[in-house]
A = this chain, B = another copy of it.
């Protein structure tokens, strides 16, 4: 048996798992990131987590082929360095060299959104398709493109940044510094913003401004709240057009949609599919299946394992 350890480094938790050649998750564990203690402390936590996972999985040491790590920021994999990871305060932190030296095994790194995409394409909703676009609808919108089982890295590991397609140059400001990016509308944050703006204008609704979440908006839309339905329609239209644009460019066999907002199910998927078909070229739309993600929060560690098993 060959297995790998997959690590998904996040701002709050470090998730880890042992993944076998078939993409099965043998054991998993998560520990707090405690980003405030600095880079060396985080790398040591990754080392210790890796060792514990290997022991817990009951595999022989020589069956572990390597460690894959998803980094929530900008990386330079040729140097093995995390160049900029805003939510844990890293700048030019060497990742591969120390972990390889401590653990005495091959270590691989990739952007975390790309690894979540790789996981879904490998053994999740994208299984069996050659070209997959996998996106995650959360506070932002992340994405990755998988072609024949490999992450499309592009020139600087930035491929798949679907959240920052400027769909409306006169739109709302985005964290990236531009205006009208897809994620200003079609993320959980975007949905809440759109609902707030309409509530503040005095439109009729069951929703209230206090602690308003995207889930509230989708639930209200299902109860036929007109304001909520208009917001869902706007978010779905924009997402459908963004996906159509991406599909005209990469002509994927499958588009996998995950993240918290995807839990809204057909309330979201139905209008997204309609907008997608309305904006993609006919032959592109007819070649593409839009499906919900299957792996949930495990997608990142599964993809990290895949990266180490089949680099």
Contact = CB atoms under 8 A, between A and B. Distances in A.
A155 B130 contact: yes
Contact of A131 (B155, B245, B253, B283): B155
Contact of A249 (B156, B162, B278, B288): B162
A177 to B, nearest CB: 8
B147 A152 contact: yes
Copies in the complex: 2
B154 A250 contact: yes
A279 interface: yes
A217 to B, nearest CB: 23
Contacts of A156: 251, 283-284, 287
Interface stretch (A15-23, A163-171, A300-308): A163-171
A164 B283 contact: no
Contacts of A281: 158, 161, 164, 176
Given A147-B147, A155-B130, A156-B287, A165 B248 contact: yes
A279 B153 contact: no
A95 B162 CA distance: 37
B249 A249 contact: yes
B279 A158 contact: no
Contacts of A52: none
A241 interface: yes
Interface residues of A, number: 41
A262 interface: no
A178 interface: yes
A201 B74 CA distance: 49
A157 interface: yes
B145 A279 contact: no
Contacts of A176: 281-282
Interface in A154-205: 154-162, 164-166, 169, 176-178
A167 to B, nearest CB: 8
Contact of A161 (B161, B253, B284): B284
Given A131-B155, A147-B152, A161-B284, A250 B248 contact: no
Given A155-B253, A156-B283, A164-B281, 15 more contacts: A145-B249, A153-B251, A154-B253, A154-B287, A155-B287, A155-B288, A156-B251, A158-B281, A158-B287, A160-B249, A161-B284, A165-B249, A169-B279, A249-B249, A249-B250
